[in-house]
């Protein structure tokens, strides 16, 4: 990092805070404005904000590391951009027409107030323990990697770059989120998307230039690294439908790297839950003034979601090629005797590329992109959590609260979340394997939520008792798996000896998380349908305009008039690009 790089980063922060201040000055003291930006966001802000909220520092670092070790295998997750089309075309119209602030609020309209409380509580706890925790951890790692020598002495205490970076980003992000709410979050995220994409594109461009072009990249690496399906199917199993086979016994349900059954069946469930029913993402679409803007924002976000394959995963592969070809001598020692990347260096491949490939000045822009990814994810988590607390809890308990009081409570809730984030730092810093453990949490929490939203919209016979039963059953199964997993994590700290091999708890712990997620999904489907059909039908008044079969003719006409041929063409273009990616990275 040179003086010019620090100047670029300082300019980024000044511009971001200046924009945030301008946006805050435009705001009004109402819940619509603070939590949903006045329901007046344009489609480009919605799309950019959705993308920025999704992409965090852990994506930049993690996806590049995955590219260096596994090639394009992780592109499966990024190619779920089609889920955003489902949000725009199928789900957002219901959300916009119902005028809700939160996803649990929509669940109350469709089913019951109890279902709303259950989902709100689970979502709020999950955001604090996963999204906020992981964003803070990733930010600390970025700072400790890029500025390892930074430290601050306060009395007898010494704070290193991990602490300094985490605290600085939490405080700065919390500042404009507390003051400006969703309006500040959405507009700053739109700018952060631009910085993030430009910085990552520059990294890819300079990396390929250093290597000699795309052809040199293909020539330097194993062809299997460019095959989306190869890592999902073990050697010798190409012609069968069995996921994994160990000697003479089938062990398809145990841990494997990327089993195709889980990727094919479970990943879309998690993707649809995340992109179409999670408050963290959908809140941006709720800020649209019309169904048209919400749909077009989702389509724009789908286009942006295709970028990570090329600007995050490919840089990791470029780093591997530069190391193998010796074109960057500093990378040569980071390859093991087997010709594969040493894991610890692979995880730092993005930062290493920044350090050795990007020229001074532009290096600061790429680092600003890293900071943008971190801050946008953190701001989204703060804003979504404060909205859930204020609208789904406080307003329900104090229905006579004024608009001013609700906005004030939203600011207080965000401030408390910032303080919780600060208190999380030593917990996260001391944890080992925490990030991997947290990745499984969404796999366990997603299925029952996905079921009640999607089945609830497509099946009008489902009722409140079925919804609540499915949520409770699914969450109990999730908590059971998390409780079983916890001793294994604690074992790393010397508290547990692990489970006896072959025991029931050992089997539960070793079932691949996507397969356990599928199990929760199937149980949730059975429960919601069986309980609903064993109890009374929901009233027609409650269902009006909340399912496809109960939409009024006026709403059907209004929905049809909200899109034109260009919306169809752009949506088709997203699908064609996904298909092209699958075809190019196959075989």
Residue given tokens 């090329």 in the structure block: 310
Query: Please, what is the Cα angle at 394 between 285 and 287, to 5 degrees?
Result: 10
CA distances from 387 to 178, 180, 304, 384, 533 (A): 12, 13, 26, 5, 34
The tens-digit pLDDT sequence of the chain (587 residues) is 788 888 988 888 888 888 888 888 887 778 888 888 888 899 999 999 999 888 876 677 677 888 888 888 778 778 889 999 999 999 999 999 888 999 999 999 999 999 999 999 888 878 876 777 777 766 666 677 666 667 777 777 677 777 777 777 778 888 888 888 888 888 888 888 888 888 889 989 999 999 999 999 999 988 888 888 665 555 544 444 444 433 333 344 444 455 667 777 888 898 899 999 999 899 999 999 999 999 999 999 999 999 988 888 899 999 999 999 989 888 888 888 877 888 777 877 888 888 888 888 888 888 887 777 777 878 888 888 899 999 998 998 888 888 889 989 988 988 887 777 677 666 555 544 444 555 667 888 899 999 999 999 999 999 999 999 999 999 999 988 887 876 555 554 444 566 777 778 878 877 888 889 999 999 999 999 999 999 999 998 889 989 999 998 988 898 899 999 999 999 999 999 999 998 888 76
For 287-305, give the secondary structure using H, E and C: CCCCHHHHHHHHHHHHHHH
Res 418: pLDDT: 77
Question: What domains sit in the chain, N to C, each tagged with a CATH number?
Answer: 3-223+268-430 (1.20.1730.10), 432-551 (no CATH)
Res 504: pLDDT: 83
* 161, 149 contact by CB (below 8 A): yes
Cβ neighbours of residue 202 closer than 8 Å, sequence gap 6 or more: 358, 362, 365, 366
Res 244: pLDDT: 41
Of 253, 246, 204, 436, nearest to 343 by C-alpha is 436
Res 135: pLDDT: 72
CB neighbour class for 128 (10 Å; exposed up to 12, middle 13-18, buried from 19): middle
CA distances from 60 to 132, 282, 347, 354, 447 (A): 17, 22, 10, 12, 27
* 192, 16 contact by CB (below 8 A): yes
This prediction's pTM = 0.86
Distance CA 513, CA 485 (A): 10
Give me 555's structure tokens: 């709403």
Res 372: pLDDT: 77
Other C-beta atoms within 10 Å of 437: how many? 16
* 386, 417 contact by CB (below 8 A): yes
**Can you give the C-alpha Rg of the chain in angstroms?**
24
Res 468: pLDDT: 96
* DSSP SS3 for 493: coil
Of 307, 140, 250, 335, nearest to 515 by C-alpha is 250
For 301-335, give the secondary structure using H, E and C: HHHHHCCHHHHHHHHHHHHHHHHHHCCCHHHHHHE
Q: What is the DSSP string of 533-583?
A: HHSPPPPHHHHTTTSGGG--HHHHHHHHTT--HHHHHHHHHHHHHHHHHHH
Distance CA 288, CA 56 (A): 24
Max CA pair span of the chain: 71
* 328, 322 contact by CB (below 8 A): yes
Q: What are phi and psi of 569, to 5 degrees?
A: -65, -45
Distance CA 395, CA 382 (A): 18
Res 78: pLDDT: 83
User: In angstroms, how far is CA 373 from the centroid of its own chain?
Assistant: 11
Query: Please, what is the Cα angle at 367 between 362 and 373, to 5 degrees?
Result: 130
Distance CA 359, CA 67 (A): 23
CA distances from 118 to 98, 112, 124, 353 (A): 20, 10, 10, 45
Residue given tokens 């350090």 in the structure block: 355
Distance CA 74, CA 257 (A): 11
Give me 367's structure tokens: 């680092």
Distance CA 313, CA 75 (A): 8
Residue given tokens 């398809």 in the structure block: 252
Q: Determine which helix (DSSP H) or strand (DSSP E) holds 249, and give its type and residue range.
A: strand 249-250
Res 587: pLDDT: 60
Of 378, 376, 377, 369, nearest to 170 by C-alpha is 378
* DSSP SS3 for 506: helix
């Amino acid at each position: 990092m040179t003086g010019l790089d620090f100047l670029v980063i300082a300019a980024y922060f000044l511009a971001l805070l200046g924009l945030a201040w301008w946006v805050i000055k435009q705001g009004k003291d109402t819940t619509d404005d603070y939590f949903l930006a006045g329901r007046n966001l344009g489609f480009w802000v919605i799309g950019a904000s959705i993308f920025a909220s999704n992409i965090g520092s852990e994506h930049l670092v993690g996806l590049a590391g995955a590219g260096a070790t596994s090639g394009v295998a992780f592109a499966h997750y990024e190619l779920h951009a089609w889920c955003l089309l489902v949000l725009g075309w199928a789900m957002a119209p219901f959300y916009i027409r119902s005028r809700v602030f939160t996803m649990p609020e929509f669940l109350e309209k469709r089913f019951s107030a109890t279902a709303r409380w259950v989902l709100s509580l689970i979502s709020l706890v999950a955001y604090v323990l996963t999204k906020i925790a992981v964003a803070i951890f990733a930010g600390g790692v970025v700072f400790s990697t890029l500025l390892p020598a930074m430290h601050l002495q306060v009395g007898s205490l010494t704070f290193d770059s991990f602490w300094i970076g985490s605290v600085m980003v939490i405080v700065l992000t919390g500042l404009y989120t507390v003051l400006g709410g969703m309006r500040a979050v959405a507009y700053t995220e739109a700018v952060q998307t631009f910085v993030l994409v430009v910085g990552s594109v520059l990294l890819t461009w300079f990396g390929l230039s250093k290597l000699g072009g795309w052809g040199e990249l293909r020539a330097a690496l194993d062809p299997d690294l460019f095959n989306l399906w190869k890592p999902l199917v073990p050697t010798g199993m190409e012609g069968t439908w069995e996921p994994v086979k160990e000697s003479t016994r089938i062990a398809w349900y145990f841990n494997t790297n990327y089993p195709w059954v889980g990727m094919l069946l479970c990943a879309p469930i998690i993707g649809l839950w995340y992109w179409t029913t999670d408050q963290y993402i959908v809140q941006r679409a709720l800020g649209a003034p019309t169904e048209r803007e919400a749909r077009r924002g989702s389509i724009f976000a789908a286009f942006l979601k295709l970028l990570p394959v090329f600007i995050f995963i490919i840089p990791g592969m470029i780093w591997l090629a530069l190391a193998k070809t010796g074109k960057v001598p500093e990378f040569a020692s980071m390859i093991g005797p087997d010709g594969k990347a040493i894991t610890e260096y692979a995880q730092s491949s993005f930062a290493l590329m920044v350090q050795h490939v990007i020229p001074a000045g532009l290096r600061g822009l790429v680092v600003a992109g890293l900071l943008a990814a971190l801050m946008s994810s953190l701001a989204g988590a703060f804003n979504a959590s404060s909205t859930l607390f204020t609208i789904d809890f406080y307003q329900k308990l104090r229905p006579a609260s004024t608009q001013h009081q609700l906005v004030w409570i939203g600011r207080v809730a965000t401030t408390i979340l910032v303080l919780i984030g600060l208190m999380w730092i030593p917990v996260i810093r001391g944890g080992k394997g925490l990030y991997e453990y947290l990745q499984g949490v969404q796999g366990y929490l997603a299925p029952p939520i996905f079921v009640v939203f999607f089945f609830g919209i497509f099946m009008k016979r489902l009722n409140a008792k079925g919804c609540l039963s499915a949520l409770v059953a699914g969450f109990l199964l999730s908590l059971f798996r998390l409780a079983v997993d916890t001793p294994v994590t604690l074992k790393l700290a010397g508290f547990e000896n692990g489970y006896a091999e072959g025991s029931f708890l050992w089997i539960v712990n070793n079932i691949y998380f996507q397969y356990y997620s599928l199990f929760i999904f199937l149980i949730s489907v059975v429960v919601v349908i069986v309980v609903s059909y064993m109890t009374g039908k929901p009233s027609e008044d409650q269902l009006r305009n909340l399912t496809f079969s109960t939409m009024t003719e006026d709403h059907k006409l209004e929905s049809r008039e909200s899109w034109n041929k260009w919306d169809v063409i752009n949506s088709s273009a997203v699908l064609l690009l996904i298909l092209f990616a699958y075809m190019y990275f196959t075989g």
